Amino acid sequence: MQKHYKSLYIVYIALFLTLIFISPVNASPLIPERVKVGLNYNSASSGMIISCNSSVAVNSLNGTDKSALLNISKPSKLSFRTDGYYNIIDKEIKKIQYIKAVKYQGDIIGPYHIQIGESFADYDSAEKSLENIKTKLPDSFLAYDGMWSIWTGLFLDEKQCLDQINIYQNKSNFYTYKLVEPDQRRVQIADVNSNDVMLIYKAQQVEIRASESMENTSPLEVNGVKYRGNILLKTQEDGSILVINDVAFDEYLYSVVGSEANPAWPIEALKAQAVAARNYAVINLGKHNKDGYDLCSTTHCQAYKGYSKEHDSTNKAVAQTKNKLLFYGDEVATTFYHSSSGGHTENSENIWSEEIPYLRGVDDPFSVGSPNDTWTHALDRKAMQQKLIENNMDIGDIIDVNIIETSEFGRAKKVEITGSKSAVILEKEKMRTIFGTSDIKSIWYEIKTDSDVNIYDTNSNSISVKRPQGLHIISASGQTIIEPSGKKISIKGLFDVQQYNIMPQTYILNGKGWGHGVGMSQYGAKGMADSGYSFIEILEHYYTGTKVK
């Protein structure tokens, strides 16, 4: 009996230790529960419209303080706008730089207000007072700047305020009246339909939270785009407003994968995209800390376009790879990806600067046949010159453009542009940056021109392509070198005479693939999935020496 108890005791101890040390299935300390996404990166706004199909709460988020500013118990459409000057024409409202001497169409509202009575320590006291004041001054509204007040009016200047104060004092001397000067850090909340101001607040950051949610979605819309989670508005010192979506991490991925990949693609390709997107987000968390959020919604981080980009298939891909990450040894891999490689991916140092061991160029036949497998783009000489000037590179009239160095896989690492004043060498992605990433889809291209001449070399029995300038020619007047000019030259071939520009007027780029070419090709992933490869095999093919864990 004693031996039996001893055995049970050992079993209990073992079970206890197992319960202590076992990890939750698929848990990862690297993956946050929520993420803050900047929705207007590089384009902070002076106003936006936020709609809600159910009740909504607006809360102040100053430091540790989270106090309610406004509660609306019915579907609403609210305008959040900086407390400034606006022109209203046929119910359309537009922010303006107000000039007193200018005659405007429609109505003008301004940032001067009148405070009625004293301030209140809490919302309930202010709300109760507002009910009484509205019986006499119906245009009154709540104001919050750390204390609660009752304000009225959207006046253009100090004189209008003082004139109105005199009128109020003559009509209703039950209250005290005080002029409120403009402050660009204040924000108005107005009803879009009536344009009535509901609240003016001065707070560094507020949260808009839907009190009720629809089926797995948030009823909050920002300028017509629906988002899960909560919306944060952060007022900057210059009066502009940052819009931030505070959302569950997996729900963020739902939109990213739906925005970055075709939902009709095979599930294994979508799962590869889900892991790549998760890795990329984890690696780049805090990229925009100085702006008050983790990641932005543009391709500067990853494309994030809200609820409308979610699909059952892409959401399933996120769920089926939950908490899966790609590792190189113990290191979380930086999973750069692009649309299509053109047949071969590229080494990281040939596109940027750092040599990363798992971002090696690999053969990619699965990408061949994609919509941008091959492409052509023509660059006009004059337009190129203007673009260079805009980028502080005035080299004079462009004489020629040549690739002077390629990677081992054929991409243009250095392009020399020669001008009448000087020459400039554009390295790696710089050519795309200056002349357009949508037009020059990758740096894997060759350059042809409207001046190219096919010359037959009798010694090697081969044909080479040359441009007239700099060539030695023999004419009726003897041997000469063709100098760069805007003229044409006539060249007699075996069967006819053709004219060529001495200096090219058009540079034609014949290229392959779309994107930087580093890491996973999205069309290549689709091709691999179509051929029966798993998402793990896809990822470990494009990211050399990595493992999915």
Give per-residue pLDDT as tens, 454-498. Answer: 676 667 776 666 776 766 666 667 677 776 766 666 666 666 667
Q: Are 180 and 268 in a shared domain?
A: no
Q: 194, 227, 260: which is the final residue of a domain?
A: 227
What's the mean pLDDT in 88-113? 91
Same domain, residue pair 435 and 523:
no
Do 361 and 478 fall into the same domain? no
388, 407, 408: which is closest to 398 by C-alpha? 388
Question: Do 108 and 219 sit in the same domain of this protein?
Answer: yes
Domain identity same for 102 and 201: yes
Percent of the chain topping pLDDT 90 = 68
Strands 148-155 and 205-210: unpaired
Residue 28's pLDDT band (cuts 50, 70, 90): low
Give the pLDDT of residue 434.
Answer: 97
Are 93 and 210 contained in the same domain?
yes
> Which two three-digit tokens encode residue 385?
């010159």
**Is 108 contained in some domain?**
yes
Query: Does 17 map to a domain?
Result: no
Rounded Cα distance, 366 and 524, in Å: 5
427/324 same-domain check: no
One domain, residues 344 and 362: yes
Residue 135 belongs to a domain: yes
Same domain? For 425 and 309 the reply is no
pLDDT value, residue 17: 40
Q: Are residues 493 and 532 in the same domain?
A: no
Could you tell me if residue 39 is inside a domain? Answer: no
Going 209 to 212 to 218 to 222, the CA torsion angle's sign is: negative
Domain span holding position 386: 374-449+507-512
Contact call for residues 113 and 180 (beta carbons, < 8 A): yes
Q: Is residue 16 part of a domain?
A: no
Q: Please give the Cα distance from 95 to 179 (Å, whole number).
A: 23
- In the chain, how many domains are there? 4
Residue 30 included in any domain: no
Mean pLDDT, rounded, of the chain? 88
Domain shared by 131 and 161, yes or no: yes
- Domain membership of residue 364 (yes or no) is yes
Q: What is the mean pLDDT of residues 182-204?
A: 91
With respect to residue 24, please indicate whether it lies within any of the assigned structural domains: no
Q: Is the pLDDT of residue 298 over 60?
A: yes
Q: Rounded to whole angstroms, what are the CA distances from 350 to 197, 301, 339, 427?
A: 56, 21, 18, 9
pLDDT band at 7 (very low <50, low <70, confident <90, very high): very low
Confidence (pLDDT) at 53: 84
Same domain, 214 and 65: yes
